Amino acid sequence: MTLASVLGQPRAVDALQAALRSGAVHHAYLFAGPEGVGKELAAVGLAQALTCPEQPDVGCGACASCQRVEKGLHPDVTWVMPDDERVSRGLAGRSDFTGTPSRELRVEQVRQLQERIALRGLESRRKVALIVSAQTMNVQAQNAFLKTLEEPPSDTTLILVASAIDRLLPTIRSRCGKVHFGPLPVDLVARRVAEARELDPETAQLAAVMAGGSLGRAMALDVDALSRRKDIVTAFEALSGENAVGLLRFAEAHGGSREEAERTLELLTLWTRDVALVKADLASGLANRDLAELARQVAARTSDLLLHRRHSLLEAARAAIARNGAPRLQLERMLIDLFTETSR
């Protein structure tokens, strides 16, 4: 794997390759974009290009140095990520931590990084630090990291990988060279998912659309959950502000965990998009094609203003859960706000 092997992000890859060729590599980069669209792969590719002894400023992807970068074992490439992400990747066990592994990047981790990059490189002409899920840095960690950005070591490149850059301090964002990554083409995601997971074309296409152009999400989607989406959408559209018990039961059924609540909100966001497409006479672009008739019924009774409000409330609930909000509580709040307004 090299920078050139990152698929579906030509503008980002071209910009990085141009910087490498010209020798104008920034001391700090902020790779911004949705989850699962190639940001981290590009960060690894850039780290390889900066440390490769065989093809400097390109990265061969095959030498021992490039292989160690890809595996996270290169002595001059430092990885920083939240503890819970280390656990999910199999890099640590829950028994390695006292209590629940943190979802945040903590100030202690930033200070350890600062100590590491202050040392001389062991093998390469340049040191690299990859800060994964940089948006999870708490305020103390961001303030500490800002000092490194203001006075960076001359032989170090910092790469922040973030899916929500608005959660980073403006002073951090302004001191980084920004590289934007957009959603991947749906057809590309569908093709890769079909090959990797041996799915039929229709299921793979639905997975790609539901994942919002994120290959990572599409690969992780529960195929059984795809088959349950019809029941979830139908139950959602049957809710009413006059039946508060029904709202609470829906939240209880789909808010048992952070992952389940996020999947439900993503599905309902995509469903809201489908309804909006029907209202705009663009039904050919529906993700849930088997629910086209229901989408027409909902579109006929739902105003543009209410659809916009529905989308805003869904996004707000997703953002609250991402900030460690209680999943069930956030679902309840979203449903009550939405259907209480609808029934007025």
Torsion angle of alpha carbons 202, 214, 16, 6, nearest 10°? -40
- Mean per-residue pLDDT for 126-154? 94
The structural domains of the chain, with segments of one domain joined by +, span 3-180, 222-341
Residue 338 corresponds to which tokens in the numbers above?
């939405």
Please tell me the distance from the alpha carbon of residue 166 to that of residue 29, in angstroms, as a whole number. Answer: 15
**β-bridge mates for residue 130, sequence order:** 79, 159
How far, in Å, CA of 268 to CA of 189, rounded? 21
Higher pLDDT, 213 or 143: 143
Neighbours of 326 (CB within 10 A): 14
Above 90 in pLDDT, residue 88? no
pLDDT confidence tier of residue 149, bands split at 50, 70 and 90: very high
Residue 269 has pLDDT above 60, yes or no: yes
pTM attached to this predicted model: 0.76
CATH, domain range 3-180:
3.40.50.300
* pLDDT top residue among 177 and 151: 177
Residue 199: which pLDDT band, with cuts at 50, 70 and 90?
confident
Between these two residues, 90 and 130, which has the higher pLDDT value?
130
Helix 258-279 × helix 304-322 angle, to 10°: 160
Confidence of residue 341 (pLDDT cuts 50, 70, 90): low
The rounded distance, in Å, linking the Cα atoms of 148 and 119 is 14
CA-to-CA separations, 22 to 15, 33, 114, 136, 189, in angstroms, rounded: 11, 25, 28, 33, 32
Q: What is the DSSP letter of 105?
A: B
User: At residue 64, does pLDDT exceed 90?
Assistant: yes
Per-residue pLDDT reduced to its tens digit, 54-63 = 999 999 999 9
Percentage of residues of the chain with pLDDT beyond 70? 99
What percent of the chain clears pLDDT 90, i.e. is strictly above it? 74
pLDDT of residue 256: 92
